[in-house]
Amino acid sequence: MSNAPSIGLVINTYNAPEKLEAVFHWLAVAGGCDEVLVADDGSKSETRELIATWQNSMPRWGLKHIWQEDQGYRRSRILNRTIAQANADYLVFIDGDCLPFKRFITDHQALAERGAFVQGRRCFVPQSKVKAITTFKTSIFSLLITGQLGGAFKAIRWPMPVIKRNRELHGILGCNLGIWRDDLIAVNGYDESFEGWGAEDSDLAARLYHHGLIRKFVYGRAQLAHLNHDELPRDRYDANKEKLTATLGEKRVRCSLGLDQHLQPEA
């Protein structure tokens, strides 16, 4: 795998240090990434202290904490700021409430392909079992065999992966998403005019399609377990959906309020 891309793992978080610590523990088992970057949309001091501890205990991660002031849901902005600080060829995005399986990173590295981005899947830990999972009092396998794991088939590593190549928006998630960093630069990253929950990931995918990419929609590899929680407020969804509709109608490739404002100018 001498030609394999370097991998940067981007973990998006907000005020969930217990879950983020579980993610770090799972990642320590998974390994394989060249850098780890936490995109923090305004968490309090507990998250900063947790990250500082792991920076000391896992220096090989080159763990970076990119933080912005809490001014509401500004996920697109913090992700752009994090992409700008990444050095890896290929970035894998997860949320801070998603636990990467053992071969998660090496699977993404094997799936990386020029002209494509990768959308992996996730199984679901019910809220009633989240505490037990994050404190290692139960396991994904136990939930699986007792029928308590949502989307259980997405947790299984199949003999061969099933990969669907398409340009659909159905199933687009900002979590378990693998994209070449130079493709993100080409489309100017996330559109920061999207504030509040909803549609920012579909907008990015649409612009990647307009840039000429396809999606590799993958089952049976690069698995994650999502720690279920209450839904976020969706009061901005309709406005964000209108922005997505405009992107699709105009076949827009680059957004105007995006990644370029955070990149260092070339010398």
Enter the pTM of the model.
Answer: 0.95
pLDDT of residue 2: 52
Assigned superfamily of 7-257? Spore Coat Polysaccharide Biosynthesis Protein SpsA; Chain A (3.90.550.10)
H, E, C per residue of the chain: CCCCCCEEEEEEECCCHHHHHHHHHHHHHHCCCCEEEEEECCCCHHHHHHHHHHHHHCHHHCCEEEECCCCCCCHHHHHHHHHHHCCCCEEEEEECCEEECCCHHHHHHHHCCCCEEEECCEEEECHHHHHHHHCCCCCHHHHHHCCCCECHHHHCCCCCCEEEEECCCCCCCCCCEEEEHHHHHHCCCCCCCCCCCCCHHHHHHHHHHHCCCEEEEEECCCCEEEECCCCCCCCCHHHHHHHHHHHHHHCCCCCCCCHHHHCCCCC
| Of 73 and 216, the one with more pLDDT | 216
pLDDT of residue 266: 54
Taking only the tens place, the pLDDT of each residue in 221-243 is 999 999 998 877 777 889 999 99
All structural domains of the chain with their residue ranges: 7-257
pLDDT of residue 208: 98
pLDDT of residue 1: 41
Taking only the tens place, the pLDDT of each residue in 100-111 is 999 999 999 999
pLDDT of residue 230: 80
pLDDT of residue 267: 43
Chain mean pLDDT for the chain: 94
Taking only the tens place, the pLDDT of each residue in 52-81 is 999 999 999 999 999 999 999 999 999 999
Q: Point out the least confidently predicted range of 94-98, 174-178, 194-198, 241-245.
A: 194-198
Taking only the tens place, the pLDDT of each residue in 117-162 is 999 999 999 999 999 999 999 999 999 999 999 999 999 999 999 9
